[in-house]
Each structure stands twice: as C-alpha cells, then as structure tokens.
Amino acid sequence: QSALTQPASVSGSPGQSITISCTGTSSDIGGSNYVSWYQQHPGKAPKLIIYDVSNRPSGVSNRFSGSKSGYTASLTISGLQAEDEADYYCSSYTSTVVFGGGTKLTVL
C-alpha cells in the first residue's frame, strides 16, 4: 500500500498548460486502467476530475485531461486559470485505493 509518487509542486502562468505526473508500480498504475485524479481546494473535500485514466465526469472542464504510459499517469491542465490553483491527487484503484502524495499547483 505504498503511495504513488507525485511532484510536490508545479506552477504555471494563466493561459499556459501544465502536466502533473504520477508514478507507481506494476501492482497499481502499471497493472490497472483505473487511475483517477482529484482536485482539492483548501478546506474543501476532494473533487473527482478524471477517472479511468482519461475520462472526465459530467461537468468537469475539458481543460483537464489524463493519460498513462507504463507505470506513469499524467494530468494535463490547459489554459490555466486562477481557480485551478489547488492540490491535485492521483489514485489507483485495484482491490483497494492508493493515493499519490499530492501536488500543489500554483498559478503565477
């Protein structure tokens, strides 16, 4: 049940694109297409923004996209906006759930 590895922080300017990586092992990301991403603003509950590697729930902006290659999943946010500033967590769902350590996105 080791946590997935994410960078502690990333930053970008409004309008730019950023990518957050999430690295696991053959037991989680490498062996599963059940990778999801969550956005969490300070003091709020997490919100699902990507499921099954690259799918967006209804109502989530198409500026958010996901992908996976081997043991690494990625979240890309295009056209950065101020309200995107938040913590982002990846997750892999096998028989249980494992989360990444989280990445703080700063919009400069």
CA 100, CA 24: separation in Å to the nearest integer? 9
Do 49 and 39 touch, CB atoms closer than 8 A?
A: yes
Minimum CB–partner distance for residue 15 and other proteins (Å) = 28
- 82: contact with other proteins by CB under 8 A: no
Q: Residues with Cβ < 8 Å from 95, sequence gap 6 or more?
A: none
Element (H, E) at 37: strand 35-40
Which of positions 23-52 make contact with other proteins (CB under 8 A)? Answer: 34, 36, 38, 40, 44-48, 51-52
Minimum CB–partner distance for residue 36 and other proteins (Å) = 4
Do 65 and 19 touch, CB atoms closer than 8 A?
A: no
- 96: contact with other proteins by CB under 8 A: yes
Minimum CB–partner distance for residue 40 and other proteins (Å) = 8
- 15: contact with other proteins by CB under 8 A: no
